[in-house]
Chains A and B, each alone.
Chain A
Amino acid sequence: MPKMVFIEKNGNRKEVDAPLGLSVLEIAHRNHIDLEGACEGSLACSTCHVIVDGQWYKKLDEASEDEEDMLDLAFGLTHTSRLGCQIKMTPELDGLTVRLPPATRNMMVDK
């Protein structure tokens, strides 16, 4: 079983099983990683923004224009920012490491 690593907001590293074909968002949810994914991977929000480790970023397919449009809504972007719902596990990605960005807040209900 391939593995992947999430680096949580507090710096904690969590290595988890990463079944082939599942997205980083799905893998996060199976393992109780605090990655939101409000639209459940329908490419309609940016709440599953992850920062991919530099060496792994190069191995990913380029982001689609739709994904770039959604990344426009995210904060704290980096050169290696992607949406977790758009990265699917392949054998080449065994060991993939991603970091969770600082939290965003909804101003209406978080006064």
Chain B
Amino acid sequence: MSDSRHVTDVVVVGAGPVGLFAIFECGMVRLKCHVVDALDAIGGQCTALYPEKPIYDIPGHPRIDAADLVRALGEQAAPFAPVYHLGQTVDRLDRQDDGAWRVTTSKGVEIVAKAVLIAAGVGAFGPNRPPLPDIERYEGDAVQYYVKRREDFRGKRVVIAGGGDSAVDWALSLVDVAARIMVVHRRPKFRAAPDSEAKLMALADSKRLDLVIPYQLDSLEGDGKSLRAVIVATLDGEKRRLEADTLLPFFGLAMELGPIAHWGLDLERSLITVDPATCATNLPAVFAVGDIVSYPGKLKLILCGFSEAAMAARAIYPLVHPDTPLHFEYSTTSGVPGAAR
């Protein structure tokens, strides 16, 4: 078997808090998991949107920062040796003749599993793409959402759009290699470390970079591959043309249900309808838990997702071990099976 093909009991889609706890609950009933997530790190929204925000409604934790919760959940899942496939989305879900599911990720990884457990929250994260006509055609060289190599910008005229840490930090970093840096932002205030903001202002004062404020992105000018200029506009519609080779838009992350919408699941307003007793979806051996599910009385709370993960794991068990009834034991008695004690 090559590195890109795997066989396991359960594929968990989404490594947010509920997906992580699902690994633990599956592990407690002897189910092995592979886990796929669009982000490069585990934790989902807790990692991507609010790592430093405290959460007050996790049972047993009067207050815990989201990043600390994710760390603890990762630790709790670790004894069951989950295999993480990060930085990729599940593109396809195909049922094999033997009833197993074959999951194919955006990086071409194939995982065959007896069951699929979707814990995808509000969907997959990706860079927030400005709604400019034809922007897709420029993505790659002329429009980039991540800086891969600083050297790629040597001698280039670069427009950086956005007002957060990424925009400010990359402006400060690229100013030494780029021919020209233009920072487009809608207001004179930046959401960045005060020290970085001060450096940015100092560079602008000494004319080493241009602050193009208060402007928003309006459109792109070019041949559909190479960029000639980025057109920006004020709130009142006054336009300015910035001659440039590259645009770096930094507008945070957006989430979308993405490919999940095309798997034949019963959806109600982008939420997966499940049986609240088992978290089973309308597809055989496909379960869903956490913020992505809907049933009467559903609460979008992490703690409810934890409970759903426990129910789903027990509902999946007989599909993987049809001939061995599940003997119920509390963790105080069983400990963590497979873990060093």
Residues of A within 8 A of B (CB): 32, 38-40, 42, 44-47, 68-69, 71-79, 102-111
Q: Is the CB–CB distance between B185 and A109 below 8 Å?
A: no
Q: Is the CB–CB distance between A73 and B50 below 8 Å?
A: no
Contacts of B50 in A (CB 8 A): 39, 42, 44
Q: Is the CB–CB distance between B252 and A46 below 8 Å?
A: yes
Q: Is the CB–CB distance between B254 and A104 below 8 Å?
A: yes
Contacts of B145 in A (CB 8 A): 107
* A45 vs B189: C-alpha distance when bound (angstroms): 18
**B321 interfacial contact with A, CB 8 Å:** no
Cross-interface CB contact of B125 among A42, A44, A106, cutoff 8 Å: A106
A15 CB to nearest chain B CB (Å): 20
Q: Is the CB–CB distance between B131 and A73 below 8 Å?
A: no
Which of B57-65, B196-204, B255-263, B327-335 faces chain A?
B255-263
Q: Is the CB–CB distance between B186 and A107 below 8 Å?
A: no
**B1 interfacial contact with A, CB 8 Å:** no
Most buried by B among A75, A77, A102: A75
Q: Is the CB–CB distance between B128 and A44 below 8 Å?
A: no
A78 with B235, Cβ < 8 A, contacts A44-B49, A109-B126 known: yes
Cross-interface CB contact of A107 among B126, B187, B189, B252, cutoff 8 Å: B126
**B122 interfacial contact with A, CB 8 Å:** yes
* A45 vs B123: C-alpha distance when bound (angstroms): 14
CB contacts under 8 Å to A, within B25-60, are 38, 45, 49-50, 53
Q: Is the CB–CB distance between B49 and A75 below 8 Å?
A: no
Contacts of A39 in B (CB 8 A): 45, 49-50
A38 with B122, Cβ < 8 A, contacts A44-B49, A72-B191, A107-B145 known: yes
Cross-interface CB contact of B258 among A44, A75, A78, A110, cutoff 8 Å: A110
* A42 vs B46: C-alpha distance when bound (angstroms): 12
**B216 interfacial contact with A, CB 8 Å:** yes
17 contacts between A and B (CB under 8 A): A38-B254, A40-B291, A44-B49, A46-B252, A69-B164, A104-B131, A105-B256, A106-B258, A107-B136, A107-B139, A108-B125, A108-B127, A109-B38, A109-B257, A109-B258, A109-B259, A110-B129
Q: Is the CB–CB distance between A72 and B186 below 8 Å?
A: yes
Across the A-B interface, give the 6 residue pairs with the lowest CB-CB distance, nearest first.
A108-B126, A109-B258, A106-B254, A107-B129, A106-B126, A106-B256
**B300 interfacial contact with A, CB 8 Å:** yes
Nearest chain A residue, comparing its CB with the CB of B191: A69
Contacts of B186 in A (CB 8 A): 71-72, 77
Beyond A79-B235, A108-B125, A108-B258: 6 further Cβ-contacts under 8 Å? A32-B269, A44-B49, A72-B187, A74-B251, A109-B124, A110-B129
* A108 vs B122: C-alpha distance when bound (angstroms): 14
